[in-house]
Amino acid sequence: MADVELTTFEADVLDTIGSLQPGEVVTYGEVAAEVGKPGAARAVGSTLRRYGSEVPWWRVVAANGRLVPGSELRQTERLIAEGVSVRNGRVVMSQLVDEKG
């Protein structure tokens, strides 16, 4: 990515996602809020579409736990390997809330 000039927002998103630990799952909205742009969940998704291979993209899900369309199998495998429960194409969000809470 050295040849790519990122916006401040993109760099902040990638830094935030890059700091996630194995088994830690966040939503696109949580990442947007963390980087100071609440409501920019779609922009987080766009950043991941462009540069996701640089960070642990599989640790980011929709607010309802839905996985990335078209990458569900790969994302499921990676999340399960990290101890995250996935059922019917979604992360079991209640488990995450209990563990964070």
- Give the model confidence (pLDDT) of 58-74 as tens digits: 999 999 999 999 999 99
Domain spans in the chain, listed from the N-terminal domain onward: 8-100
CATH of segment(s) 8-100 = 1.10.10.10
Count of Cβ atoms closer than 10 Å to residue 62 Cβ: 17
- Residues in the chain, total: 101
Q: Report the predicted TM-score, pTM, of the whole model to 2 decimal places.
A: 0.89
Structure confidence at residue 38 as a pLDDT band (50, 70, 90):
very high
Residue 83 sits at the vertex; the CA angle it makes with 79 and 84, to the nearest 5 degrees, is 55
The Cα 29–Cα 98 span in angstroms is 19
Q: CB of 93 within 8 A of CB of 64?
A: yes
**Mean pLDDT, the chain, as a whole number?**
91
